[in-house]
Structure 1
Amino acid sequence: MHDDKTTRGAGRPRSAEKNDAILRAALDLLARQGYVRMTLDQVAAAAGVSKSTIHLRWKTKADLLAAALAAVQAADAPPPSGDDRADLLAILRDFAATIARVNGMALIGTCLAEEDHMPELLALLRARSVMPRRALLREVLERAREEGRIRPDADLEAAVSGLVGPFYADYLAGRGGHPGWAEQAVDLTLAALRPQGNR
Structure 2
Amino acid sequence: MKKIRNLFIKINDKLKKRKLRKKLKSTDFTIISNNCWGSFTYQKYGLMYRSPTIGLYILGHDFVKLCSDWENYFQYDLEFISWNKTSYYYALKNEKPFPVAKLKDIEIYFMHYHSEKEAADKWYRRIKRINPNHMIFKLSQREECSKEDIKKFISLPIEHKVCFSYEDIPGTINIPELKEFVGDEMELINKYFDDLDILNE
Please give the range of the TM-score, normalised by the shorter of the 2 chains: under 0.3
Q: Normalised by the size of structure 2, how large is the TM-score?
A: 0.23
Larger RCO, structures 1/2 (Cα 8 Å, 6+ apart): 2
Report which of the two has the higher share of helix: 1
- Structure with higher Rg: it is 1
